[in-house]
Amino acid sequence: MSQNIKNKIEADGFAVVNEVFSESEIDTLLKTIADIDISKPTFRKTNDLFAIRQFLKEVPETIVIIFNKTLIALINSIFGENYFVVKSIYFDKPEDSNWFVAYHQDLTISVDKKLDIDGFGPWTVKHQQFAVQPPLSILQDNFTIRIHLDDTDEGNGALKVIPQSHLKGIYRPETIDWNMEKEVTCPVQKGGIMFMKPLLLHASNRTSNHRKRRVIHIEFSRITLPANLQWSEALQAETTLN
């Protein structure tokens, strides 16, 4: 099974694996999130979206639930044992959300400071967090998991992707040739996960079926950054995949 998942990720840039988390594990995650203080600057709340940046730092009691034996075994068997967490976000898309995301690649990484380093740039700062576009080799080596806390389909914002777009380097959405490319929607069951590569072109529609879509998004790398640059959330590595 793991080899089939690995092959699909390498070929298409994504794979869906259901039944990674039990009903009770998902319920515990949701209860833990519901009980936290949402007044911190890393939290964002609007009518269309509630988000928690640096999620594993802000809600560390979720780590032991998220990194259960099933997930750790999947990650280690597919990617090897050298990866660690470098970014985490919780997204809550409400039942009547008009929030949508146009096609894009995840081209930036979150780091602790801004430094003048060849191959790194442009830089941005958002919500007290430095982000930078790194060399392409880092983005090609990283991967992301999206843990679904609700059943998700095209009606409540399941990701739409363009298979194999992760193999084409920097791929600007405005240059997509729809005569050549194929769009695929990626439904995921509650308790399931989606693996994806950062360079995979992906998008998300507005909610149309009055159902929530809550997702924990976690990015992984095995790269040591140059100079004195550090991943902003890499400290979590010691408590996750070991």
Percent of the chain topping pLDDT 70: 90
pLDDT tens, residue by residue, 190-202: 999 999 999 999 9
CB neighbour class for 233 (10 Å; exposed up to 12, middle 13-18, buried from 19): buried
pLDDT at position 238: 47
Domain residue ranges in the chain: 2-239
Composition of the chain by helix, strand, coil, percent to 5: 25, 25, 45
Instruction: Using alpha carbons, list the distances in angstroms from residue 213 to 14, 55, 111, 149.
Output: 19, 17, 28, 7
* Fold entry, domain 2-239: Jelly Rolls (2.60.120)
Separation of CA 111 from chain center:
16
- Res. 236: pLDDT tops 50: no
% of residues, the chain, pLDDT over 90: 74
For the stretch 60-95, pLDDT in tens is 999 999 999 999 999 999 999 999 999 999 988 776
Q: 């924990």: which residue's tokens?
A: 216
Quote the pLDDT of residue 46: 61
pTM reported for the whole predicted model = 0.93
